[in-house]
């Protein structure tokens, strides 16, 4: 069991009966008995069982792991926690073009230093945008890794970290887009009504 490696922890799963088999052939059935003990706790419990084997033809060792899981609780509480409706994915808000924006007062930190030169715009490259537009996150990571320099050294570190900044900017835009709302009434809360949500 994976929990056997934790010092001071009382395992909730234990193999109480397992026959010692020297050789396994195709079609052989081996039965093991696994006992579960929550030790007086409620909740969800899980562990990982690892079975080790040796291929006698090659002498190589390999392992097969299986996940063990159990839930302990009062049936009435479990019934209350059940979903009352099928799960529906939240609708992704669209990124509407900005209309008339009323500029606010700049904080003192932005006016403390008189900046002489305005920085240029650095849009996200099309290749990075195309990679981040893929549906699966694993595909996004694979495509981004393919765009990064293979070796990180003095000549490539600029492109490497610039690409990561573009990825971070895209993630920030998507996170902020979650809060895009239209036709919502704000209600004042807090002392003096200075907080709205």
35-45 pLDDT, tens digit each: 999 998 888 89
Pair 36, 59: CB distance under 8 Å: no
Q: How many CA atoms within 13 Å lie on the side-chain side of 87?
A: 3
| Number of neighbours of residue 13 by Cβ within 10 angstroms | 20
Task: Write down the pLDDT at residue 52.
Answer: 86
pTM over 0.75: no
What CA–CA distance (Å, rounded) separates 169 from 95? 15
Structure confidence at residue 95 as a pLDDT band (50, 70, 90): low
pLDDT digits 0-9 by tens, 147-164: 999 899 999 999 999 999
Burial of 166 (0-12, 13-18, 19+ CB in 10 A): buried
- Sign, CA dihedral 190-191-193-194, equals negative
Task: Write down the pLDDT at residue 57.
Answer: 85
């Amino acid at each position: 069991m994976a929990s056997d490696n934790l010092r001071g922890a009382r395992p909730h799963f234990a193999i109480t009966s397992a026959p010692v088999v020297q050789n396994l052939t195709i079609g052989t059935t081996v039965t093991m008995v696994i006992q579960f003990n929550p030790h007086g706790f409620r909740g969800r419990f899980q562990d990982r069982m690892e079975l080790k084997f040796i291929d006698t033809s090659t002498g190589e060792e390999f392992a097969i792991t299986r996940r063990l899981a159990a839930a302990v609780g009062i049936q009435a509480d479990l019934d209350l926690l059940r979903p009352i409706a099928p799960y529906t994915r939240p609708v992704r808000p669209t990124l509407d073009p900005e209309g008339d924006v009323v500029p606010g007062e700049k904080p003192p930190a932005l006016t403390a230093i008189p900046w002489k030169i305005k920085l240029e715009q650095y849009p996200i490259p099309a290749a990075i945008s195309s990679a981040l537009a893929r549906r699966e996150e694993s595909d996004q990571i694979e495509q981004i890794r393919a765009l990064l320099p293979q070796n990180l050294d003095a000549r490539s570190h600029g492109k490497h970290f610039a690409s990561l900044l573009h990825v971070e900017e895209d993630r920030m835009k998507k996170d902020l887009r979650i809060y895009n709302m239209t036709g919502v009434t704000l209600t004042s809360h807090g002392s003096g009504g200075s907080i709205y949500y």
